[in-house]
Amino acid sequence: MARMAGTAALAESLLQVAVVSTTSVAGGDICTTTRLRLTDGRSAVIKTRPQAPAHFFTTEADGLRRLRAAGGVAVPEVLAADDDCIILDWIEPTKPSTDLAEAFGRALATTHASGAGGFGADQDGYIGLAPLPNRPLPTWEEFYASRRVMPYVKAAVDRDSLSLEQAAIIERAMRKLPSLTADPEPPALLHGDLWSGNLVWSADGVHLVDPAAHGGHRETDLAMLALFGAPHLQRILDAYAEAAPLQDGWVERVPLHQLHPLLVHAVMFGGAYGPRAAAAAQSLLDGKP
């Protein structure tokens, strides 16, 4: 009860609106999420974490605003953010449907097509609690190898989540990267952590939350979405491809784009994620994804 009172007081200080009630929201193991009912009739959601990393919530807010401005997939409005929390407009969830999935696929294509200034972002960020280097590089291949894969290979080895032999397989795949990719495309605005837990299905469409927004390759978001599955995934992918056709062979490149999230999970959770990342890299080297 004391924690809830503290959360309400924090929200009131930022919103300058009194909180009528608070309710815990299930899901997520990084932050505490609480629904707020406000005296002006609105509902909001506040995410908090004691001793959060520097700029953790403000970086999330910047990413949400950037995605919202793209005019594609819906994104909740950021009501406030500081070093202690982020407060968003409440999105009432509903059951996933094929119609919502189709609309989401098309909207995601619009988000990606809104473009980015380059491969990377103006500031480093986070994926989960893991640091996410974003300093731009001229090509996607350079950016992906140097900012997305190799830093996490090193971190996974340091945490004994990846053997030296497995790391060497991934390094060989990165050296072969130019031959593994499609024809160059302009930087797409990515969500950057697009798994099903970061989709809120509502009656007025799917909303994106918890981004790691940056300029990258659009196939990366699709591969991340496929990594852990999502409701009506095939309809999402089909609708996306109808709106923005993908280059030939994109399915065969899915393991390439899944290397980063697999390595992030290897760093954060260990287990089988390191070997899975090495297997994905080996499949690319073998030409048998």
Considering the segment(s) 2-89 as one domain, its CATH architecture is: 2-Layer Sandwich (3.30)
Start-end of CATH 3.90.1200.10 domains in the chain:
98-286
Global confidence as pTM = 0.95
Question: For the structural domain made of 98-286, what CATH number should be given?
Answer: 3.90.1200.10
Catalytic, out of 62, 193, 210, 221: 193
Distance from the Cα of residue 29 to its chain's centroid: 15
Residue 85 and residue 22 in contact, taking contact as beta carbons nearer than 8 Å: no
Known catalytic residue at 124 = no
Calpha distance 210→224 (Å, rounded) = 14
CA distance linking residue 181 with residue 216, whole number of Å: 13
Quote the pLDDT of residue 288.
Answer: 54
**Whether the Cβ atoms of residue 211 and residue 64 lie closer than 8 Å to each other:** yes
What pLDDT score does 2 carry? 44
Instruction: Give pLDDT, residue 29.
Output: 78
Dihedral class, residue 49 (left if φ above 0, else alpha if ψ from -120 to 50, else beta): beta
Residues of the chain with CATH 3.30.200.20: 2-89
pLDDT by residue for the chain (289 residues), tens only, comes to: 445 668 999 999 999 999 999 999 987 778 999 999 999 999 999 999 999 999 999 999 999 999 999 999 999 999 999 999 999 999 999 999 999 999 999 999 999 999 999 999 999 999 999 999 999 999 999 999 999 999 999 999 999 999 999 999 999 999 999 999 989 999 999 999 999 999 999 999 999 999 999 999 999 999 999 999 999 999 999 999 999 999 999 999 999 999 999 999 999 999 999 999 999 999 999 985 5
